[in-house]
Each structure stands twice: as C-alpha cells, then as structure tokens.
Structure 1
C-alpha cells in the first residue's frame, strides 16, 4: 500500500513537471507571437500613415522634388503593408500551445536572422539614399527625382533600421526563457526526455 502510494505520488509529480514544461513553452510561444503581432501592427500603421499623409501631400506638392519624395514614400509602403498583413495574420491564427519545442527554437532563430539581415539591408537603403542625393549634384536633368527618391530612402530606411533593431532587442530578451526550457530537455539514444529538477 505504501509503495503504491509513493509510486502514485511520483507519477503525479512527473505529470505536473511535464505539464509545467509544456506550459512554459506555450507561454514562450505566446510571448513571441505577441511580439510579432505588435511589430506587424507598428509596421502596418507606419505604412497606412504614410499612404494617407503622402497621398494628401502629393495632391499639391510645392516642388517636383517633394512630389517624387511623396510618391516614393507611397511605393515603399506598399511593400511594408504587404509584409505586415500576412505577418499579423500568422501571429493571430497561430496556436502557441501547438508549436513544438523544435519548431519554437527554429522560429525564434529564424526571426532573429531575418531581423539582422533586414537591418543590414536598411543600412544599404540609407546609403543608397545618400548616394542618390550625391548623384543629383551631377545630373541636373534628374536632380528633382534623385533628391526626392534619395530623401525617401533615407527616411524609410531609417525607420526600418530602428524598427528591426528594436524588434531584435526585444526578441533577444526572450532568449533566457527559451534557454530555461531547453535546459530541461536531454537527448539520449532512445530520443528526447525531460530532465526533472528536484
């Protein structure tokens, strides 16, 4: 009787430990998806705000250069909105409890890589904007176009660089939670198992 009670309590404890690990992973995934959702809302809001503002200003630009600047801002944010909408949709429909540990690790690292690559591209956009402004000095027939597009690249690239760096920093702040979950997993010849800490 005493042995069966101890065995029952031990099995209940193991079950609670396993549920606790699963719960930790669900919380981690919910936090990661929430971060992505907020990021996509910010990116989408920036895009919609740019559409509205630049479309209104494009009706009566004071110079040709400003017209090109407003137009390029609108073009640029078509891409931003095209990225934000599916990203937001994915964050809203994903079930944090159904994402495995392997998928969680993969998604986490993939998002980090994408943000770092995007930050590098953002620097290239900003640099391209400054180069266009320099080119405008030697091409008087395209001066308005190059200056307008160049200023837009600098503005949009600057926003995206700040966005990607902040998102990457917020994502990295979640690494400790993921590492704690990973520390409870051991790999052996038979497969995966949870390491129970007493």
Structure 2
C-alpha cells in the first residue's frame, strides 16, 4: 500500500475519532441543558401557578392568617420566577456544541453544588416555618402573620426541597456518561486530547 494512501487513511481515522468525541460531548451537553430547561420550566410554572391561585384567593381570604399565607406565597414566587427565567434563558441560548470539556465539567459540577446548597436552605426554610407556627402560640397579636407566613414557608420550602432533590438526582444520573467521556481524556505536558482505546 502506498504511503500517501496510508497517511491519508490514518488522518481520516483520527478526524473521525475527534468528530465522534466532540459529538459525544455535544450530546452530553444537550441532554444536560434539556434537564435544566425542564427544571426551570417546572420552577417557573410553579411560580406562575402560585401567582394566579394565591392572587385570586387573596382577594377574599377566609381569615387574617389565610391572607398572610396567600401574600407570602406570592412574595416567595417572585424569587422563584426570578431564578427560573435566567436559568431557562441560559438553557435555550447555549449551543451545546460550543462548550469545551472544561466548561462542560465546570457547569455540571456547579449545578450539582447549587442544588445541594439549595436543598440545605430548603430544610432551613421548612424548619423556620415550623418555628414561626410555634412562636405564634405565645404571640397573640402576631398569631395570624406568624402562622400564615410559617405555613407558606413549609409549603414553599417543601416544594423546593423536592424540586432540588429530583433535579439533582436526574442530573447525577448523567454522571456515568460524563465519566466515560473523561476516561478518554489524556493529558501530556504539551497537550490535552481525547483518546479512544479499542
């Protein structure tokens, strides 16, 4: 076989492997961004549903406590919507094929850390809600607001805890796929490359 043909076939083989590696990384990023998009749509949907439901119920609350409960649910979901919109925007405008390996690993691990930190905060919100309800027993003048806000913290914190745990679990289900990609990375003093072993 002539050397030029052998060299050309070797180059073609290397370019094919590089294309496959980039495609695998792009597929991983596409799936990761889709998970984030769905999560942000759920969070945004929860916020909008809370605005509508609690806004209507706030117009005629059955008690002072109920009014505070509806009001706090609305306030709480301003924050939820404020988080969902930029997260959804990022998922929609990011081209998965443009993210390199370092950016992919960074975004993946950053999202995991944020979700775990949020889950810890959610537990604190729920605990705070129960504490507010307990405090209401000894504060006659603030009973309505403490019980209403407390119930809201328990509800909203409970939803967010479930949301963060589920989103983290779905994200972690992709960790084997990322590990497989990282297993093909080879470092040398002068370069970083993807290596496919057969």
TM-score by length of 2: 0.98
CA distance in 2, matches of 1:194, 1:26: 14
Q: Deviations over 1:40-66 (max 9, x none)?
A: 000000000000000000000010000
Q: Where does structure 2 lack aligned partners over 5 or more consecutive residues?
A: none
Q: Deviations over 1:51-99 (max 9, x none)?
A: 0000000000010000000000000000000000111011100010001
Q: Deviations over 1:136-159 (max 9, x none)?
A: 001011001000000000000000
CA distance in 1, matches of 2:87, 2:134: 36
| 2:145 aligned partner | 145
The Cα of 1:193 is off from its aligned counterpart by 1.7
Secondary structure of 1:138 counterpart: coil
Hey, which bits of structure 1, 4+ residues long, moved more than 3 A? none
CA distance in 2, matches of 1:49, 1:194: 46
| 1:74 aligned partner | 74
CA distance in 2, matches of 1:187, 1:131: 53
CA distance in 1, matches of 2:34, 2:94: 10
Secondary structure of 2:137 counterpart: helix
Moved more, 2-11 or 22-31: 2-11
| 2:140 corresponds to 1:104 | no
1:174-185 alignment runs, 5 A limit: 174-185=174-185
| 2:16 aligned partner | 16
| 1:125 aligned partner | 125
The Cα of 1:170 is off from its aligned counterpart by 0.4
Secondary structure of 1:186 counterpart: strand
CA distance in 1, matches of 2:91, 2:13: 33
Moved more, 7-16 or 86-95: 7-16
Q: Where does structure 1 lack aligned partners over 5 or more consecutive residues?
A: none
TM-score by length of 1: 0.98
